[in-house]
Each structure stands twice: as structure tokens, then as C-alpha cells.
Copies of this chain bind each other. A is one copy, B any other.
Amino acid sequence: MTIALGEIATRFGCEIAGDPRIAIKSVAALSNASEGTISFFANTAHISALKSTGASAVILRRGDVDQCPVNALISSNPYLTYARVAELLHPDPVFDPGIHRSATIHETAVIHKTAHVAANVFIDADCIIDEGAYVGPGAVVGPRCHIGELSRILANVTVVQDVTIGKRSIVHPGAVIGSDGFGNAMSDSGWVKVRQIGGVKIGDDVEIGCNTTIDRGAIGDTIIENGVRLDNLIQIAHNVHIGEHTAMAGMTGIAGSAIIGKRCLFAGRAGSVGHVTICDDVIVSASSYISKDIKEPGVYTGSFPAEKDKIWKRKAARFRRIDDMVLRISELEKKRE
């Protein structure tokens, strides 16, 4: 798609500093842009890339216009405007409606005539696949699942059973949704499996990353509210409840029955133990985990970044003798008196 800069400006309510007639075909990074591309500048760390950019236009804040050697599209939130421009220039692929001849569909499943069911898909009993939904190659949708309008279940995903997915949600390849939670009761002769009989309810505009796993509830449902974003290789255990617009980066893990608020952010490999309640607007730092209820919004951290091994080992050795340090201080205080 090619579109004039002026039309982009009109569409997204931005001002232009430069020529509205130039043609834009694609987005690009500042440092690797060529004619016909539009880039964005939001972080002063990239100022030299801005100054030497080959892009035909750059989305940036009003205060940065003077630094921009090319046409500027002025936005109070350049990254958000960039997201919208990228969506316009690079729309989702369009899928032909229909069911691939190699797909196997249970006779009780209802597939909307505008939905696309790809090769080697298996859809089980009592499923509903709504208008414009997409089920990718190799995906398996188990019994009693509902895939909402325009949602996309990508390649090799498994939606196990009793899963409801809202509208416009995306499940990336390899994810598994609705599998049994980890429930075991110890008996004299070993573990007895605790039947998991709940489901999973996923809202609208949710995105679930590759190979992420979301278990169904033990009793009752695991719930992912509207607008939640989960990256790759995340584990969401049974009966977890994640509030609207919370985003979790790769490898985050949430243990069973944790209740996570709205608009929380979990950095990479963050997590939470089970059976805790975390309020809205909590940020958990990389490699840190929450161990108890959190009632105040803010940033929470509990990890040490790596440093030179020799230095770390010396400190760690000191830490192992921290008791001794405290004793020595007490001893000094006693003598002092």
C-alpha cells in the first residue's frame, strides 16, 4: 500500500512539518530506512540515527522537529502513532474463507462460512468458530471451545477443551490453552490426580505468545480479561485471573489462583506465587517474583543483575557470613558501652 504523508496525518490527527505529498510505502527503522519509508523517534538515545536517517518521514514529538532532517509527522505519542501507521501500511494477511480438505471437523462443530480452517486442523465436538476467525495449520481445537469473531488461532496451537476466546484475539504457534492444571493429592500409594473440570475464558483483543501455556481451572475458570498481552513461553496456572490490559513479557510464570490486577506489567522471567492478590498498576521487574499480596501500585524487584563472577563470588561469600558481621557489630556495641 502506498499513501501520501498528508493522508496519514489526516487519518491520525497529526500535524506535518514538511511536504504532505510524499508517498509512504512502508515503515522502517531510523538507521536502516530508504526512500518511501516512515520511521519514528521517541528515545533521545537514537538522536544520531535521526540526524542521518534515510527515511522520507519521521514520526516525532513537536519539540524534536528541529532535529529532524526530513519530513516530520508530529505526535504527542510517536510510538503509538507509529503502531497505527504500521497497521495501516502493513495490514494483516487476508485469508480466504473455507475449510481445507485435510481438516477434520466434528459433525457437531459450527464453523462460520467466513472463517478459515487451514490444513490438518482438527476441531472437536460442540465447537463454535465465529465470523472471520482463523484456525491455522496443525491447530487442534478440543471439545466445547468457542473462537470469537476475527480471532486467530495460529499454527500448531492446541486449544484443549472448554475454552472461550473473545473477538480479535491472537494465539501464536505452539501455545496450549485449557489443559489440566497441576492438581495432585498425596495418598499412601503416591499421587492421585485431582480432576480439573474448569475451563478458560479469554477476552477480546488478547494476544498469547508462542508455546505459552494456560491451564484450565480446577473448578471454575482461569480468566484472561480483555486486552491482556502475554509473550512467549509463559505459564499461567489453573484459576489465575489476569486483569484488563496487563502485559507479561517472555517466560513469566503465574502460579495457581493468583489474581493479577489491571494494567500490570511483568518484565521478562518475572512471576508470582499462587493464591496471592496483586492490585492494579503493579510493575514486576525482570527475574523477580511476587510472594504475597500487593496492595500498592508501583515497581517491585527482587533480583540481582550479573556482575563479574569473581566480584560476585566475594560478595556472596560475605553474605554467607552475614550472621558473623552482625555478631561483630553487636560485640563492638557492647564494648562501647
* Contact of A336 with B335 at beta-carbon distance under 8 Å, contacts A197-B86, A233-B235, A289-B303 already known: yes
Contacts of A77 in B (CB 8 A): 185, 187
Q: Are A137 and B140 in contact, CB atoms less than 8 angstroms apart?
A: yes
Contacts of A29 in B (CB 8 A): 219-220
Assembly CA distance A243 to B238 (angstroms): 26
Assembly CA distance A156 to B269 (angstroms): 25
Tell me the nearest residue of chain B to A105, going by C-beta.
B119
Q: Are A303 and B305 in contact, CB atoms less than 8 angstroms apart?
A: no
* Contact of A249 with B244 at beta-carbon distance under 8 Å, contacts A27-B195, A312-B302 already known: no
Among B184, B235, B284, B285, contact of A229 (Cβ-Cβ < 8 Å)? B184
Asked if A222 lies at the interface with its beta carbon under 8 angstroms from chain B, I say no
A159-173 vs B, CB cutoff 8 Å, 1 = contact: the mask equals 010000000001011
Q: Are A304 and B290 in contact, CB atoms less than 8 angstroms apart?
A: no
Q: Are A250 and B28 in contact, CB atoms less than 8 angstroms apart?
A: no
Closest CB of chain B to A176's CB: distance in Å? 4
Q: Are A192 and B80 in contact, CB atoms less than 8 angstroms apart?
A: yes
Assembly CA distance A213 to B250 (angstroms): 10
Asked if A255 lies at the interface with its beta carbon under 8 angstroms from chain B, I say yes
Q: Are B185 and A83 in contact, CB atoms less than 8 angstroms apart?
A: yes
**Interface positions of A from 237 to 260, Cβ below 8 Å from B:** 237, 244-245, 247, 249-251, 253, 255
Closest CB of chain B to A180's CB: distance in Å? 7
Assembly CA distance A180 to B288 (angstroms): 25
Contacts of A194 in B (CB 8 A): 79, 82-83, 86
Tell me the nearest residue of chain B to A180, going by C-beta.
B172
Contacts of A329 in B (CB 8 A): 325, 328-329, 332
Among B104, B182, B313, contact of A209 (Cβ-Cβ < 8 Å)? B182
30 A-B pairs with C-beta separation under 8 A = A82-B185, A83-B184, A83-B194, A118-B122, A140-B155, A140-B156, A142-B155, A154-B160, A173-B179, A182-B209, A182-B249, A184-B207, A191-B227, A191-B229, A211-B233, A215-B232, A235-B250, A253-B269, A255-B268, A255-B286, A269-B289, A285-B309, A286-B289, A289-B305, A300-B309, A301-B312, A302-B304, A318-B326, A328-B333, A332-B332
A interface residues with partner B (beta carbon < 8 Å): 26-29, 32, 77, 79-80, 82-84, 86-87, 90, 93, 100, 102, 104, 118-120, 122, 136-138, 140, 142-143, 154-156, 158, 160, 170, 172-174, 176, 179-180, 182-187, 190-195, 197, 205, 207, 209-211, 213, 215, 219-220, 226-227, 229, 231-233, 235, 237, 244-245, 247, 249-251, 253, 255, 268-269, 271, 273, 283-292, 296, 298-310, 312-316, 318-320, 322-323, 325-326, 328-329, 332-333, 335-336
